[in-house]
Amino acid sequence: MSPLFRRAFIVLGASALVVAMAFAFAWYFAGENREIRTGEVTRTGTAAIGGSFSLVDQHGVRRSEADFAGKYLLIYFGFTHCVDACPVALLSMSQALDRLPPEIAGEVQPLFITVDPARDDPAQIALYLENFHPTMVGLTGTAAEIGAAAKAYRVPFDAPKPDENGDYQVQHGTAIYLMAPDGSYLAHFDHVTPPGEIAQALQRYVEGGA
């Protein structure tokens, strides 16, 4: 191949790569995907987030979405051995609730749903939640039950093969979801959203009767 043709192929290849990257960035930072990526507080009546679940709480009691009917749900999917996003998210949720007037906070039910049922049995979750808001309910279940709940809330997760010590970190989505009393999606926050911002949004929705 002559140097002229080689340069032409390089230019065409670089141009194609730029176009492909432009489309990729446009998709990644647009629409709902952009909202979940950036953690912007968003309200929409079309987001296919949420649904039924049947799981077991930290006291060993079977719970479903019907048990929380009439409450605003603040939901986070994580796991108790998480070393980064999970404790930050649950602490933000807890501090947000502490900043609310009691009559507003009483309308909000925080939920922690594990994506690591192999290690997170009710006793483990109960121990873990001692570090967070006293009203928080932790939920676990079989792998199939957890998978169904995560799918309903569009939460991706993947548990890698354990290391030689049996340790692993589950990769998972880090959005905190706010659901209306009727079970519909209202908004979401990133795990690093400041507690004050979450509290303001919660008060706005509750007082507005959304």
User: 172 and 143 in one domain?
Assistant: yes
Q: Which CATH number belongs to the domain containing residue 78 in this structure?
A: 3.40.30.10
24 and 62 part of one domain: no
Do 175 and 73 reside in the same domain of the chain? yes
Residues 210/179, Cβ–Cβ less than 8 Å: no
Q: What is the largest CA-CA distance in the chain?
A: 77
| Same-domain status, 16 and 107 | no
Q: Give CA separation, 65 vs 91, 104, 164, 179, in Å.
A: 23, 20, 38, 11
Per-residue pLDDT of the chain (210 residues; tens, 9 = 90+): 454 444 444 434 444 433 333 333 343 334 444 444 444 444 444 468 999 999 999 999 999 999 999 999 999 999 999 999 999 999 999 999 999 999 999 999 999 999 999 999 999 999 999 999 999 999 999 999 999 999 999 999 998 888 888 899 999 999 999 999 999 999 999 999 999 999 999 999 999 876
Domain residues for the domain of 14 are: 3-35
Same-domain check for residues 81 and 169: yes
Same domain, 58 and 159: yes
Extract the tokens encoding 10. Answer: 């390089």
Alpha-carbon span 167 to 181, nearest angstrom: 38
110 forms beta bridges with 74
- Residues 20, 115: one domain? no
**Which residues neighbour 62 within 8 Å (Cβ) at sequence distance 6 or greater?**
54, 55, 56
Q: Are residues 127 and 181 in the same domain?
A: yes
Three-state SS sequence of the chain:
CCHHHHHHHHHHHHHHHHHHHHHHHHHHCCHHHHHHHHCCCCCCCCCCCCCCCEEEECCCCEEEHHHHCCCEEEEEEECCCCCCHHHHHHHHHHHHHHHCCHHHHCCEEEEEEECCCCCCCHHHHHHHHCCCCCCCEEEECCHHHHHHHHHHCCCCEECCCCCCCCCCCCEECCCEEEECCCCCEEEEECCCCCHHHHHHHHHHHHHHCC
- Can you tell me the distance from the alpha carbon of 168 to that of 119, in angstroms, rounded to the nearest whole number? 11
On whether both 22 and 53 belong to a single domain, the answer is no
In this structure, the answer to whether residues 108 and 199 fall within a common structural domain is yes
Closest CA to 111 of 144, 83, 170, 152: 152
Are residues 11 and 96 part of one domain?
no
Q: What is the total count of domains within the chain?
A: 2
| pTM of the full structure | 0.77
Judgement on whether residues 7 and 89 belong to the same structural domain of the protein: no
Structure tokens at 174: 């880090």
C-alpha to C-alpha distance for 139 and 207, rounded to whole angstroms: 28
